[in-house]
Structure 1
Amino acid sequence: MSGTVICRMHWRALDREGEDSCTLTQLTGGWMLVGHAQFHHSHGWAALDYVVRCGPDWTTTSADITGNHGDTRVALRLVRSGAAWQLNGVVQPQVAGATDIDLGFTPATNLMPLRRLPDIGRLPCRAAWLRDPSGTVEPLDQVYTRQRGHVVQYRAEQTGYSTQFRVNEHGFVTQYPGHWENCHAP
């Protein structure tokens, strides 16, 4: 599958040892994020590859996550068809209606709602949230509000988490206070 590379990102974790790199590619009929995250967590090191596919409207169509999370091998495939989601072929009714995937271990997946966010305004959306690579997804209702230029207010309803982050011209988070900071592209 060929396409045009739009942007490469590289972040370092601020809340633990770790880093994440990804590439955004424009394809015929949509978009694709391909990335690799490695980080230290309570059970050791994780090394995860991810591929997220989006339609031309920036809604997620599928995601694949593979690698290791401590001693556990990870091989997950999430697919959205209409309002329904499947995880490794099993319907996930708790996330029905979600338009995005939120991979909790990377800032890369904030890109999709940020690309749909108006220049000034608010975007409420629901994500199928993979909090960690354990293989369970939960609903995560999010609100993105662009206050000015490259500054976006973010709130996650289920957790009550709120922050303000900076984004670049492509829509990627560049500063995620306390969690991630953009480095130069690899």
Structure 2
Amino acid sequence: MTETIATIHWRALDRDGEDKCRLAHLDGGYMLVGHARFRDGAGWAALDYVVRIDGGWLTRSADVTGIHAGTDIALRLEREGDDWTLNGDPQPELSGCEDVDFAFTPATNLMPLHRLPEVGKLDTRAAWLRLPGPQLSPLDQSYRRERGQLVAYHAEQTGFDTHLVTDVHGFVTSYPGLWEANGG
């Protein structure tokens, strides 16, 4: 049985789209369950995702199912120590990744944001999933708490920088130009 901790509903700012997500307790850790609906350059998408997280806020596994641009999607990422698999196939390039980062939702920022100290910086590596594809590669990220709920974010491979605003549960409420929370 799972107990809901928090829910959030985002609207996309750069395209037609929304995402609804729930954070719950699960087996000594946590679980994110979300439903992303959007149109991007490839077409319409209706994606459901589940991310299983251990008690230290590190990803254990994740599933993405649904449809994107007319193509059925059924992906399962699993982490065992430093090793990752995608639908059972080893992904050695992801060795050392601690989390998943789904490019289509701000939900997966939650795990590193929970590990971010109240004062200081967190450097982490995520298994970055993009569609169409799937395209999967490591993404080195840094998070630095600036004050209160304002966090500076940097993605090394893309050179992307922004400031995120978070809520008390660790969800991003403002991702400038990309996502904005509509409430829970």
Which TM-score band applies after superposition, normalised by the shorter structure? over 0.9
**What is residue 67 of structure 1 aligned with on the other side?**
66
2:29 pairs with 1:22: no
The aligned residue for residue 102 of structure 2 is 103
1:93 aligns with 2:80: no
Structure-to-structure mapping, 1:5-154, within 5 angstroms:
5-154=4-153
Distance apart, 1:28 and its partner CA: 2.9
CA distance in 2: counterparts of 1:133 and 1:60, whole angstroms: 22
Query: Which moved further from structure 2: 141-150 or 126-135?
Result: 126-135
SS at match of 2:109: helix
Q: 1:140 to 1:171 in 2, by over 3 A?
A: same
Amino acid corresponding to residue 78 of structure 1 in structure 2 = L
Name structure 2 gaps, 5 residues minimum.
none
Give how far 1:153 is off. Answer: 0.1
Normalising by structure 2, report the TM-score. Answer: 0.98
CA displacement 1:110-169 (0-9 Å, x = unmatched)? 000000000111000000000225223100000000011100000000000000010000
> What SS class does the counterpart of residue 109 from structure 1 fall into?
helix
Match of 1:4 in 2: 3
CA distance in 2 between counterparts of 1:81 and 1:28 reads 17
Q: How many residues align?
A: 184
Counterpart amino acid of 2:38? F
Please say which of residues 130-139 and 66-75 is displaced more in the overlay.
130-139
CA-CA distance at 1:41 after TM superposition: 1.1
- Unpaired runs of 5+ residues, structure 1, are none
TM-score (norm 1): 0.97
CA contact (8 A) 1:103 1:132 kept: no
Q: Deviations over 1:70-118 (max 9, x none)?
A: 1110000000000000000111111110000000000000000000000
Mapped to 2, the partners of 1:133 and 1:105 lie a distance apart of 11
**Cα RMSD (Å):** 0.8
- CA-to-aligned-CA distance 1:5-59 (integer Å, 9 cap, x gap): 1000100000000000010001231100000001001222000000000000000
Q: Distance in 2 between matches of 1:133 and 1:122?
A: 32
Q: Which residue of structure 2 aligns with residue 164 of structure 1?
A: 163
Aligned partners of 1:130, 1:172: CA distance in 2, in Å? Answer: 19
| Distance (whole Å) between structure 2 residues aligned to residue 3 and residue 133 of structure 1 | 32
Tell me which stretches of 4 or more aligned residues in structure 1 moved more than 3 Å.
Answer: none
